[in-house]
Amino acid sequence: MTGATDIEAIVSRLNAARPPARGVRYEGPAPFGQGMTVHRFALSNGLRVLVEIDAAAPVLCLQTWMRVGSRFEKAGKTGISHLFEHLMFGETEKSAHGAFDRLLEEAGGETNAATSLDWTYYHQNLPKTALALGLRLEAERLAHLVLREPQVASEKEVVANERRQRVEDDVDGAVSELLYREAFREHAYGIPTIGLMKDILSFTPEDCTEFYRTYYAPNNATLVLVGDVDLEETLGLVADHMGALEPSEVPLEDVHPEPPQLEERRLVVDKPSPTHRVAIGYKCPALGDFDHAPLVVLNEILFGGRSSRLHRRFVKELELATEVRGWVGTGRDPSLYDISLTAREDVTNERLLEVFDEEIAKVMASSVGEEELDRAKARLELGTLQSLESVSGRAETIGFYDTVLGEPGALFTKLEAYRRVTRADVLRVARRVLSSTGRTMVLVRPSGDEEEALEEGSEQEVATA
């Protein structure tokens, strides 16, 4: 185990050999569960560097987390954060299109990236021997990406196809987009991360360059390294490759908090789906809110596994649904407690909702049992530990919590918080979050059922997506 004194000595040696502008600062260890530690560093240009050393296998994971996602986008320019997730694998001033992936593949690496509401991250799984190459290429694309017409045009077409696959021709994707759009009328969480088709197709090289210069700067990023690395060698390489990156002035975010929702919002859409389905979004506390952990526990009680309340009622006892799912949003700002119910054949949305409302009323009326609370906590503990098995799982956890909460080890703070949740906490959070006036719903009818539904004199707004 490397101690704080050893690390200070390493940093001193590194700084003695470099100009101050390329200096490394040790910001101390952050506890990361039992027997694991994340060491925190910063470069003079503002880049945060987080390292967890694990020599169990000769591999490492290198991730770059950018503190930009679709929440920073404006009407007419939606999807630019996600487009970058693609552009960043393209041509740079020093290497041709495809060279990034080609070189890393030849070295035995694997790359990927993901974009969300609050962040974008880039991922390299590397054999330990490829660290220097991975860092060099990462620095190259952070500083010298080529964003001219052919590069942008080609990726726009790929993203348009991705949108067709994930949204236009995918019922769940299309419904999710509608749900967030309806739920968030002020806050940018209503913007679909992949972007609207017309916006995707209209991006220009100028749009991309401006975005790149503004947000892809070291002071807006965190580099995470997990695996079989030598700390001194790694920090030296990071300083050499990334120390010269120019910081930018990241503009103050023009946040528009979502005003309280005072009445239920309901959309009905027709889709070529074999069965009815319902998507429901309740406004939920932000990831850093005290009530986030109790809500995750409540979700586990309602939806976690086959012994959960809603699974038993919908799938087992009444046989109304094939699948019921709940997911508590992990946004930096209040986001959505996102629920979906998929009906069996011949079961209507109305019936799904009737039973759903009965279950929600129960959990708001009286506290959950001690035993089901304990089951939920045990499930969350297992899930947490499973996510830490691989170097990439740990890098993702460290990068995510650092980016959203500023605490790389917050997964374990969360785990502790789950353990402390009481029945009263669950009751409080159910009453706080599950109010029917604060919810948004999208009801999906199989195409062909619409005439019948309209004849019933529904007062629902009908939108065809």
Partner 1 sequence: MKLFVEASPKLPIVSIAVAFRSGSTFDPEGKEGLCRTTARMLRRGCAGWDADALEARIDSLGGEFGADASPGATSAHAEVITRRLDPFLELCTKLLGAPTFPDEELGRLVREAKAELIEARDSDRTLAARAFRRTLFAGHPYGRRVAGTLPSLDTITRADVEAFYRRHYTKQNALVAISGDVTDKGAHEIAERVLSLLPEGEPVKDSVPEPTPPPGRQLIIVDKPERTQTQMVIGWLGTHGHDADHVAWLVGNTAFGGTFTSKLMQEVRAKRGWSYGASSRVGFERHRDAFTMWTAPSSTDAPACMQLELELLAELKAKGLTDDEVSFTKNYLERSHAFEVDTPRKRVHQPLEEALYDLPAGYHASYLERVRAVSTDEVNAALAKRTPLEDLVVAVVATNEDTGEGLGKALPGAKVRVDPFDLE
What would the two tokens of residue 41 be?
Answer: 């560093």
Instruction: Closer to partner 1 by CB, 309 or 439: give it.
Output: 309
107 is an interface residue for partner 1 by CB under 8 A = yes
What would the two tokens of residue 372 be?
Answer: 């089901």
Size of the site for partner 1 (CB under 8 A): 67
| Distance in Å, CB of 25 to partner 1, minimum | 30
Q: What single-letter amino acid sits at 261?
A: Q
4 is an interface residue for partner 1 by CB under 8 A = no
Instruction: Closer to partner 1 by CB, 201 or 286: give it.
Output: 201
Instruction: Closer to partner 1 by CB, 201 or 244: give it.
Output: 201
Site for partner 1 in 240-279 (CB under 8 A): 272-275
Instruction: Closer to partner 1 by CB, 16 or 306: give it.
Output: 306
DSSP assignment, residue 92? B
57 is an interface residue for partner 1 by CB under 8 A = yes
Q: What single-letter amino acid sits at 434?
A: L
CA atoms within 13 A on the CB side of 121: 25
Q: Whole-angstrom Cα distance, residue 183 to residue 135? A: 40
Q: Which pairs count as long-range contacts for 148-153, CB under 8 Å and 24+ apart, including other chains? A: 148/205, 149/205, 151/87, 151/90, 151/91, 151/97, 151/205, 152/83, 152/87, 152/203, 152/204, 152/205, 152/208
DSSP assignment, residue 130? G
Instruction: Closer to partner 1 by CB, 378 or 424: give it.
Output: 378
Site for partner 1 in 345-384 (CB under 8 A): 345, 371, 374-376, 378-379, 381-382
Runs of H (alpha helix) within 250-325: 292-303, 309-310
Residue 222, Cβ density class (10 Å: 0-12 exposed, 13-18 middle, ≥19 buried): buried
416 is an interface residue for partner 1 by CB under 8 A = no
155 is an interface residue for partner 1 by CB under 8 A = yes
Site for partner 1 in 74-103 (CB under 8 A): 97-98, 101-102
> Could you give the string, one character per residue 192-231, with x where binding to partner 1 holds by CB under 8 A and - elsewhere?
----------------------------------------
| Distance in Å, CB of 87 to partner 1, minimum | 13
Contact indicator for 301, 359 with CB cutoff of 8 Å: no
CB within 8 Å of 208: residues ≥ 6 apart: 80, 83, 84, 87, 147, 152
CA atoms within 13 A on the CB side of 326: 22
- Phi and psi at residue 36, to the nearest 5°: -125, 145
| Distance in Å, CB of 50 to partner 1, minimum | 19
Instruction: Closer to partner 1 by CB, 103 or 286: give it.
Output: 103
Strands 439-446 and 221-227: unpaired
Among 148, 164, 256, 362, binds partner 1 (CB under 8 A): 164
Instruction: Closer to partner 1 by CB, 8 or 381: give it.
Output: 381
58 is an interface residue for partner 1 by CB under 8 A = yes
169 is an interface residue for partner 1 by CB under 8 A = yes
Q: How far is CA 248 from CA 102, 213, 263, in A?
A: 30, 7, 42
Residue with the two structure tokens 């508590």: 328
127 is an interface residue for partner 1 by CB under 8 A = yes
Helix or strand or coil: residue 184?
coil
63 is an interface residue for partner 1 by CB under 8 A = no
- Phi and psi at residue 35, to the nearest 5°: 75, 5
Stretch that binds partner 1, among 3-11, 168-176, 433-441, 455-463 (CB under 8 A): 168-176
Instruction: Closer to partner 1 by CB, 10 or 315: give it.
Output: 315
| Distance in Å, CB of 31 to partner 1, minimum | 16
Among 22, 136, 312, 432, binds partner 1 (CB under 8 A): 312
Among 168, 210, 230, 240, binds partner 1 (CB under 8 A): 168
Binding region for partner 1 (CB under 8 A): 34, 54, 56-59, 97-98, 101-102, 105-111, 125, 127-130, 154-158, 160-162, 164-165, 168-169, 171, 272-275, 304-307, 312, 315-316, 319, 322-323, 342, 344-345, 371, 374-376, 378-379, 381-382, 385-386, 388-391, 447
